[in-house]
Structure formats: structure tokens, C-alpha cells
Chain A
Amino acid sequence: MIKYDYRNIGILMIGGSAGSLKVLFDLLPDLDEDLGFPIIIVVHRKAAADSQLESVFEKHTKLKVLEIEDKMSLEPNTIYLAPADYHVLLETPTELALDYSEKLHYSRPSIDVTFQSGAEMFGERVVAMLLSGANHDGAQGLKYIQSVGGLVIIQDPETAEVDFMPREAIAKVTADCIIKPTEMAKFINKLAKTANNK
């Protein structure tokens, strides 16, 4: 059911909304420390600055966690969190940029915006994963990733606390893999091992 792939992975991007934090907190502790690529996480949250999220994530992973600041450089084996109220873009393959433009799907950060930017920067070297949520965001971004040959992974809606977002995505793209939260960490670790990053 899960197919593994031998591409050199440039970046893993994870998007989620309602019900996605629990999935992340379950999968992050099991991720290998030497994945060989950076991870960007875009989770919808309230604009009111709860910068606590960075320290909460730190408790759940061996990887370094950073909340994204303007023009931050991208390093492998590091988790980059989208800050509240900014869209996250890739300026170059190794530099992030922020953008305060209009909300998309009532969201800023928008998952679509980051997925599209990652797809443009890395093409088929992108892996994108969409989790639980109650919003249209992410589906179009996955479609874009698929169009450049990137890998599309969607949380199994049966396992999602809110299944609207993964169902929307499944209706729009043919996922390379529909996956349960319990299998996610193993899948990512295996992808990293079979990739040519190291």
C-alpha cells in the first residue's frame, strides 16, 4: 500500500488545521534525528500570539524547532513552524520568507501558499503531507505539488478528528499515499533512509 521512493528529498512540508496538533505530537517523537532535510509545519492557529507553540513542539521531538522569522535560513534536520498571521514562502532552496498578504481560505498562514512555494522551489523533491482539518486549505497546494512531480501524502480521513480537509484533498488529487497517524513517523524515516540525501 505504501510505496517508497528513491528521490533526493529537498523538503518535507506538513499542513494541518483542527485536530492536527495531536497527530503531530504523536508522530514527531519517533522521527529520526538525521533525516537529511528540513521540515516546514503550517498549522492554522489564532492570530493572537501564542508563541508557546515552539516550546510545546520542542517537548515532542529530538529535532531542533524554530518559529520562522524573516529570511531565516533552512537547515536539514530542523523543524520550522509557520508563525501566527504570516504566510510562509521559500525565497531560495535555503532561505525562507514571510508575507502578510490577504488571507486565503480565511487562513494566514495558508497551507496552499506554502505548498505552492515549496513546489516551485523543489519540484519533484518535495514531500507534502496534509492532516486533519475543517477547511478547504491544502487541497489546491497538493494538486500543485502533484503537478510538479512531488510526493503527496494525506492522513486517512477515517483517523482524522476532523475529516473535511483530508477528504477535500482526496477528492482533488490522487494521493501517493493515504496514511494513518501511527504509520507516519515510520514512513518518513523510511523515506529519508531510501532517499539519497545522505
Chain B
Amino acid sequence: MEHAILRDDELDLLFEEIAEKYGYDFTLYSKASLKRRVSRICMMDKLYSFAELRYQLMHYPDYLQRFVEEITVNVTEMYRDPNFYKTLREDVLPQLATYPFIRIWIAGCATGEEVYSVAIMLQEANLYDRSLIYATDLNPTVLEKARNGVFSIRHMKQYSENYIISGGKKELSSYYMANYDVVKFHDKLKERVVFSTHNLVSDASFNEFQLIMCRNVLIYFEKELQHKVFNLFDNSLEKLGYLALGSKESIRFSSLENMYRKLGSDKIWRKLH
């Protein structure tokens, strides 16, 4: 386990400098997680002091990309919280089906496992050909992985079980080709996906959607930044559109609370006005 290498004031200073020099603003990220991530990358890269890390970041712009990728959490799963996907499949997709054209934004998609999960569900509901999924993340490297659609075979047993619980009627394996220790999902599943970098902290709304999914991203933000992002989502959602968050995230106590209605026990809200 990593001991804290940076003091809180050093961490603040470093992130102010990064925001100023590179435009990546982490100053309103949740400190508890950020501190762990910074300690972790310092251990991995053998940087044993604030000065060494700062020197590396300020003098080697290439290092920044690695730094950003490592301090953000890119852990994700297919059909994560399968019951959430069941609600999506049974309650949300039939509503989306009433639109001639369906636009979905998956914000903070990391390596894309949830993007392929949604694409498969849209196909099974016969909605895929008139849907467009915008899959965004601030890390170009993880987006590249998402675009490739190649995942370790190690997790497929778990993902298949999740898929079945979510109400999947086929075999998950019918959507990919296995090759040694990896699987590659069919290209068809990304034909209707636009992968693009987008930073929730600094980038604006870019379209209007009927469904925005942003799961286990807001937990890394302080409340102030969460409120800012909620407004961004609100500006990007059509009337009667859906906002889906991670299983422990909520719009409670935000300005959106009174303008949205929660769907049952899952973390899905519908915009009323």
C-alpha cells in the first residue's frame, strides 16, 4: 500500500499548475481518491517526492498523458450492476423506441465495456440502426481501447452472467470472436458509435440526447463540480430524456432534484420539463 507522498498543499499546487499549463483541471476532483492515485503513480514510476513528480510533469509534456490516464480511474465492466441494465432494457428502451432517431451519450466511458453493453441491447431491441451513441472520455488512450473493442477473455464468464441477469436472451459469445486470451467484439457494434474525447470539467454541451449515462464518474468529483456537470447534462437532455448514474450516485440535493423523477429503485431519472 502506498503512503501519501504528497502533502495536501503540494497536491493543490501541482493541480493548479497542471490546469494552467495543460488545461486539464483536476482542482475540483475529490481529494481522497486523487491522493491515492497520485501516490500510486509515484510508486509505479519511482518518483519519491513532490519535486521529482513536479519536474517530470512540467518538463515532459508527454508524461502528462500517462499521468492523466493513471490518476483517473478507468475500471469498468460489461453490464455492471445487471439489474440496472434490466431496467434500461425493460423500461427505458421501449420509451426510446418511440423516437424516430435515438441519441445516447455515454460520458466517461473509459475502455468502453458499457458502450458495447448498450449497443448489444439496442440491437436486440431492433433499435440499433436508428441510434447513435456518443462515447466520450477525457483520456485519448482509453478511448482507443474502447474503439478497438478488444477485451480480456478472463472477464467474459462474469460478463455473460451479467448479460443473462440483465435479460439477455442470446449468448454473449455470439457478439465476439475469441482469439487466445482476448475477445474482439463485432465491428457492427461500433458502426453507430462516435468515440470522442470530451472533458466534463471544461467542455460544453455538444448535442441533445434522450439518454445520458454517466456511471461511477461523479464519485470522483467534489460536490461543486458535480453540480456543474449536472447542469451540463441537463442542458444536453431533451425533455422526457433519461439520466443514468452509478449505483451509489444521486442527483439528490442538486438543482435538478425537483425537475426529474426517479424510476423505481435504480439510479435512473427522467427529465420532466
Q: Which residues of A contact B (CB under 8 A)?
A: 49, 68-71, 83, 85-86, 89-91, 97-102, 104, 112-113, 116-117, 120, 140-141, 144
Contact = CB atoms under 8 A, between A and B. Distances in A.
Contacts of A120: 4, 35
A101 B75 contact: yes
Contact of A91 (B31, B73, B81, B216): B31
Interface stretch (B141-149, B197-205, B246-254): B246-254
Contact of B37 (A98, A101, A112): A101
B160 interface: no
B223 interface: yes
A35 B202 CA distance: 44
Contacts of A113: 36
Interface of B: 1, 3-4, 30-33, 35-37, 73, 75, 81, 83, 216, 218-220, 222-223, 226, 246-250
Contacts of B37: 101
A99 B36 contact: yes
The 6 closest A-B pairs by CB, nearest first: A89-B32, A101-B73, A100-B216, A97-B32, A99-B33, A98-B219
A159 B33 CA distance: 35
Given A70-B250, A100-B73, A117 B32 contact: yes
- Name the residue in B3, B4, B30, B37 with the highest tally of chain A Cβ atoms < 10 Å from its Cβ: B30
Contacts of A104: 1
A100 B75 contact: yes
A29 B114 CA distance: 42
B248 A70 contact: yes
Contacts of B216: 100
B110 to A, nearest CB: 10
A71 B223 contact: yes
Contacts of B75: 100-102
B81 A49 contact: yes
21 contacts: A49-B81, A49-B247, A69-B248, A69-B249, A70-B246, A71-B226, A83-B247, A83-B248, A86-B219, A89-B36, A91-B30, A99-B33, A99-B36, A99-B73, A100-B75, A101-B33, A101-B37, A101-B73, A102-B75, A117-B32, A144-B1
